Amino acid sequence: MTVVVDSILNQMTLEEKIGQLNLPSAGEFVTGQAENSDLAKKIEKGMIGGLFNIKTAARIREVQKLAIEKSRTKIPLIFGMDVIHGYESVFPIPLGLSCSWDMKLIERSARIAAQEASADGINWTFSPMVDISRDARWGRISEGSGEDPYLGSQIARAMVRGYQGNDLSANNTIMSCVKHYALYGAAEAGRDYNTVDMSHHRMYNEYLPPYKAAVDEGAGSIMASFNEVDGIPATANKWLLTDVLRKEWGFKGFVVSDYTGLTEMIEHGYGDTIAVSAKALEAGLDMDMVSEGLLNTLARSVKDGKISEQQINNACRRILEAKYKLGLFTDPYKYCNVERAKSEVFNAANRAEARSTATQSFVLLKNQGEILPLKKAGTIALVGPLADAKENMTGTWSVAARFAESISVKAGLEKALEGKAKVLYAKGSNLDEDEAIEERATMFGKTLHRDKRSAEELRNEAVAIAKRADVIVVAGGEAAEMSGEASSRTNIQIPETQRDLIKALLKTGKPVVLVLFTGRPLAVKWESENVPAILNVWFGGSEAGDAIADVVFGDVNPSGKLTTTFPQNVGQEPMYYAQKNTGRPLGDAKWFQKFKSNYLDVSNDPVYPFGFGLSYTQFTYGDLSLSKNQMSSNDSIIASINVTNIGKRDGAEVVQFYIRDLVGSVTRPIKELRGFEKVMIKAGETKTITFKITNEQLSFYRQDLSYGSEPGKFQLFVGGNSRDVKQVEFTLN
Ligand code: BGC
């Protein structure tokens, strides 16, 4: 690789090298007219290294041709896209996917996304998003894997493996871009793009691990985040982009900014375009997404002695290396086979995988009196703003989705019940009484077809059909764009008008099932107390409606477990299970205790804790036993526990192991996930689950950022969620 890249680099002018660092969005390209556009002229002049936001093998071939046939260097372009949770066959939003706790399944979803995207011309995806987030207000919590660094790291690895496979030069794998480096999920007050400030020991223990895991797995590129870290925007943060990423972690790929992240540093108050561009390059940024700051200033900055040509060579080399690894120098059109696109994109097999994957992401939050699963008989009243809303099923960041072909809840239920039972439908309510909120929550074509009738009229219609039904299914919650980028909320409840609808339906006395759509942990205290059954379905993807029917009627037994804490109210945020004990913990005392760490108006409990999720069967946990209760740092202990399925259906359980280090040189959280196993257990069967405690599980970053374990007493907890656990103690000598 080095020889090839060196020889290309040697033939390039300074301007051409700078051109490789430029990544515009391809918004303006029109098929058949590509040649006449401004972008085309830039490509011909060697002023562009890659493009994103462009789709289809045919169009991409047309554009690639410009670079290969018209530019002097003939360097192929790299084509990126936000292939976040599937391409046209859309999988559940990442937060939902993480609730499967199934690494093979998650890897497979990324594999299929890569297969489809690569068949359609794309060779680079801006995924996985591995930002830890513990704040439900932040809309982008939907794009990540939740609050836990251990689980998040496993998922980061699975996604990178899925996209890149074991051969990046194959024509059906794509390069991944880990984002948003770093700490983007810790924006103050959950407001998107807001300031982040945290201690280094917290960064290293809680926020950086998933990025590092993705780098360790070989991710080809990484995206700098919009926020600042330690007072310096990530995009020009040398400590982050060079000292940690390259020197400590040994990252060999290239770093791209986020969308206009480079020139946004002017607003941050970090200098003008010339200054921020030079600083970013110096810090270790290689590619500039959209803002063209590097393109327009670097040649001048070299002349002025602000930066060296060698620094530009380094950045350019990394981008050329990425193109080399993808095999683009051998065949620039390798991803542009129109025939392949026809058969491999959105085909029946991929859609079937998306459907079964969606069933694994659903979390059963409540099932009083075993209302679920429903029988395929009688009459079902289906109501709610998300019931007949196919445009919303794929959720946020589904740029390649075919909305018209997504399966709505209504379509899914009707298909499952054909010839067996009747579905009566009424919308029941709009998303929100406030039209402006609904508009913001349904952008990018994700309309909910707002009904002009009054809330009362809509509700009355729903109550009327509900009275004729045996059971009521309400599909409600958030709309697709109520989470995602720039979709932060300060009220994280179900909109009032929907709650009014549910209240009216409950009054009919008929059983009510809430099929809850959301891209974040919602404050569903009221629902948890009043609605008998709640199935959280996130945004399940293009096949969501069929998948929901699979679970609602019991063809699939739900097994998803939450990867974020569901609070009682927004005031508890940021809320997460791996808290510190503080000097004044509540301990076993119940709320309220004066001069203890609690609130006057609400207990410290979540509504649903991290790791929580029910099944149509029940599991019981036996006693936790250890092979011995002392170990040294080069030794290990085997923990084992019997888990029994005491119900009447086969089901899967996610057995979770947590550890607490009772005394440390820095204080340690009251519980940290250190292992889990998802096991299928037949009705009546008992399985023994074992967990190996090694020094690695007991290690952490100390205040000086050295890494290791410290002797002393530890607790091990095991359970089906982070709250209801069995526990034992052991000692590290
Ligand atoms: C987002 C990124 C995304 C990029 C390109 C930005 O606004 O923050 O996550 O990859 O746009 O679409």
243 a catalytic residue:
no
- Of the chain, the percentage scoring pLDDT greater than 90 comes to 98
pLDDT in tens, 246-297: 999 999 999 999 999 999 999 999 999 999 999 999 999 999 999 999 999 9
Strand 22-23 to strand 288-289: parallel, antiparallel, or no bridges (unpaired)? parallel
Average pLDDT over residues 500-517: 98
Distance in Å, CA 147 to ligand 1 centroid: 21
Residue at token pair 């205040």: 703
Mutate to test the pocket of ligand 1, among 23, 82, 222 (most ligand atoms within 8 A of CB): 82
Query: What tokens appear for 22 in the block?
Result: 């430029």
- Each as own residue / partner, the long-range contacts of residues 68-75 (CB below 8 Å, 24 or more positions apart, any chain) are 68/332, 70/43, 70/44, 71/43, 71/44, 71/45, 71/46, 72/16, 72/46, 73/8, 73/11, 73/12, 73/16, 73/46, 75/8, 75/20, 75/46, 75/49, 75/320, 75/323
Question: Which residue minimizes the CA distance to atom 5 of ligand 1?
Answer: 259
409-417 and 544-552 helices, crossing angle to 10°:
50
What single string gives the DSSP state of each residue in 390-436? GGGTT-SS-TT--GGGSPPHHHHHHHHHTTT-EEEEE--S-S-S-HH
> Which is the closest atom of ligand 1 to the Cα of 180?
9
pTM over 0.85: yes
Distance in Å, CA 259 to ligand 1 centroid: 6
> Which is the closest atom of ligand 1 to the Cα of 177?
10
Distance in Å, CA 258 to ligand 1 centroid: 6
Distance in Å, CA 485 to ligand 1 centroid: 8
> Which is the closest atom of ligand 1 to the Cα of 129?
9
Mutate to test the pocket of ligand 1, among 485, 487, 488 (most ligand atoms within 8 A of CB): 485
Question: Which residue minimizes the CA distance to atom 10 of ligand 1?
Answer: 126
pLDDT in tens, 518-536: 999 999 999 999 999 999 9
Mean of the per-residue pLDDT values of the chain: 97
Please tell me the distance from the alpha carbon of residue 649 to that of residue 366, in angstroms, as a whole number: 17
- The answer to whether 351 and 401 have CB atoms below 8 angstroms apart is no
Question: Which residue minimizes the CA distance to atom 6 of ligand 1?
Answer: 259
pLDDT in tens, 96-125: 999 999 999 999 999 999 999 999 999 999
Please tell me the distance from the alpha carbon of residue 26 to that of residue 204, in angstroms, as a whole number: 37
**pLDDT value at position 588?**
87
Catalytic pick among 258, 288, 432, 546: 258
- Backbone torsions φ then ψ of 729, nearest 5 degrees: -115, 150
Pocket of ligand 1 (CB under 6 A): 82, 126, 179, 258-259, 485
Question: Which residue minimizes the CA distance to atom 4 of ligand 1?
Answer: 259
pLDDT in tens, 700-711: 999 999 999 999
Please tell me the distance from the alpha carbon of residue 623 to that of residue 670, in angstroms, as a whole number: 21
Domains (range + CATH), the chain: 1-76+262-338 (3.20.20.300), 350-572 (3.40.50.1700), 619-732 (2.60.40.10)
Question: Which residue minimizes the CA distance to atom 7 of ligand 1?
Answer: 259
**pLDDT value at position 465?**
98
Distance in Å, CA 222 to ligand 1 centroid: 12
Distance in Å, CA 590 to ligand 1 centroid: 44
Which is it for the CA torsion 330, 335, 336, 341, positive or negative?
A: positive
Per-residue pLDDT band at 27 (split at 50, 70, 90): confident
Per-residue pLDDT band at 32 (split at 50, 70, 90): low
